[in-house]
Amino acid sequence: MIMEPLDLYADIYDLVVKCCTDISPDVKKIMQNAIEVESSPTARSMMQAMLDDVKLAQEKDKPLCQSPGFPAVYVTFGDGTRPGNIKELFAKALVTATKNGYMRPSMVHPLTRSNPGDNSGVRVPNFEFDYVPEQEFLDITLSFKGCGAELGNAMKIFTTAQLGKDYSGLKRFVLETVTKAGGVPCPPIGLGIGIGGQMDVACRLSRRGISTRRWDDSNPDSLYASLESELLQAINRLGIGPAGTGGDTTALAVKIEGASTHTAIAPVAISFHCWTARRAGIRLYPDGKREEIL
Amino acid sequence: MDRVIETPLTADDISCLKIGDVVYLKGIIYTSRDMAHMTIKDKLDKGQSLPVDFRGAAVFHAGPVVRKTDTGWKLGVIGPTSSIRMEPYAEMVGELGVKAIIGKGGMHDKSRDAFQRYGQVYLQAAPGCAALLADGIEKIEEVHWFDLGMPEALWVLKAKKFGPLVVAMDSRGNSIYQDIRNKAQETIDLLYRPA
């Protein structure tokens, strides 16, 4: 069956508004813990301002950041839970949320830079569909990813030799990319790292990891899990800090996603996420049952 | 006691600011980002006049969320955008007489040099804190070049107490960002030796 489109619109609009006005609870918690252990008073007050901003946005029913970032939608569906006209519904929800003052019109033509004024546009939002034949529910995750953060992104096709002993080449690439980006991606950041596949696969995985996973989860793959924790600690020794003006808290999470690759190459992509981890998801069952996910 | 400085800013206002200071702004603030900077450059190249006087001005790298009502434009929220995109215009902005640039993430060598030559500072605002920062703005005075789109237009804001803003680059060639980058590179070499 196809999920009834009319049923979905209200859910989708709610996801959009939620992403405009709130950040994920796991990230709030990580930030609160970071404030406790942060040694720089400026960094502490910067992070407190960030949490205060979220609270104020909630109270006043306003967007927490002036920029909605880039909206991306991750959908997984099965034979019995096809997502129907979800693309149109999301496009409509974005335009309506813009009219209602939740989103700044930020989508423009890539060359002429002309702005239609309502966040409508070609390939907006950015969709990823995963088909899992036997899956008995429909999962929809919406993520708003800041584009100052996108400015810092990097991609490199490594060779086996360049990966280095204990992947030190990869680790240097990550730390140098974070240092180069400095305060631009609105730290404390979340960092997504995609490894393997072809160029586009690594890029998509890097974005997916940091956009759809809870920032307090742990990677089921033990090698990736240990790399995530090592890199998080190393990044937080760089001293970049919240807003890039110094401190111990540069990153709140590092998320690695991998895919097998060709023996000649080792693609590595890095996607920055700003501190405003705006993601929300729902799981829908054919009988009409709904659950919040993430 | 919070330190509040009022626009238009004087050379004295700027010369006493050093990196690490925290200030608030009061008075008129102009927004400008990629397209407004490009438009200014275009107008100057053609010898045309600009809609506002940038002498002593504070320029905010930002694109607000606004609403048009019967009584005029109403501010929703506003926060800083990544300033590095405006780096190519450092010289032009200095020549215009802009005294303070507000944004996020800092700027590079061209700006640092211009800041020394023209007596300017860079002020870092809390990134992503648009609801909080909007509280410091009293109202929108007017808008120019709205055809560039809501984010890219030149908005004229009236601030009552806008901030807090950290002086992150001063007029003596100091940059918090550069200091941090240098130290971070040393840390990287310590942690993972270059191949």
Q: Give Cα separations from A41 to A36, A154, B4, B66 (angstroms).
A: 11, 31, 21, 33
Q: Do domains A5-22+64-146+277-293 and A148-273 have the same CATH topology?
A: yes
CB < 8 Å from B in window 197-256 of A = 234, 237-241, 243-246
Taking only the tens place, the pLDDT of each residue in B35-56 is: 999 999 999 999 999 999 999 9
pLDDT value at B12 more than 70: yes
CATH architecture designation of domain B4-191: Alpha-Beta Barrel (3.20)
Taking only the tens place, the pLDDT of each residue in B15-26 is: 999 999 999 999
CB contact under 8 A, B191 and A244: no
A148-273: CATH topology: 60s Ribosomal Protein L30; Chain: A; (3.30.1330)
CB contact under 8 A, A246 and B127: no
Q: Which of B37, B61, B108, B144 is catalytic?
A: B37
Give the CA angle between residues A11, A16, A20 to the nearest 5°: 145
Taking only the tens place, the pLDDT of each residue in A94-144 is: 999 999 999 999 999 999 999 999 999 999 999 999 999 999 999 999 999
Separation of alpha carbons A47 and A247, rounded Å: 11
A218: phi then psi, degrees, rounded to nearest 5: -125, 150
Tell me which amino acid residue B86 is: M
pLDDT at residue A261 in the model: 98
pLDDT at residue A4 in the model: 57
Q: Binning pLDDT at 50, 70 and 90, where does residue B194 land?
A: confident
Task: Identify the segments of chain A with pLDDT beneath 50.
Answer: none
Number of helices followed by number of strands (H, E) in chain A: 9, 9
Domain assignments of chain A as residue spans, ordered by start: 5-22+64-146+277-293, 148-273
Q: Binning pLDDT at 50, 70 and 90, where does residue B1 land?
A: confident
Taking only the tens place, the pLDDT of each residue in B113-140 is: 999 999 999 999 999 999 999 999 999 9
ipTM confidence = 0.93
* CATH code assigned to A5-22+64-146+277-293: 3.30.1330
Separation of alpha carbons A147 and B14, rounded Å: 31
Taking only the tens place, the pLDDT of each residue in A239-261 is: 999 999 999 999 999 999 999 99
Q: At what angle do helices A86-99 and A5-21 cross, to 10 degrees?
A: 40
N-terminal to C-terminal alpha carbon distance within chain A: 25
**Quick one: closest CA in A to B74, which residue?**
A101
Report the mean per-residue pLDDT for chain B: 97
Share of chain B above pLDDT 90, in %: 98
Interchain CB contacts (distance < 8 Å): A and B:
180
For strand A278-284 and strand A138-145, is the pairing parallel, antiparallel, or unpaired?
A: antiparallel
Q: Considering only CB atoms, which chain B residues are within 8 Å of A236?
A: none
DSSP for A27-55? HHHHHHHHHHH---HHHHHHHHHHHHHHH
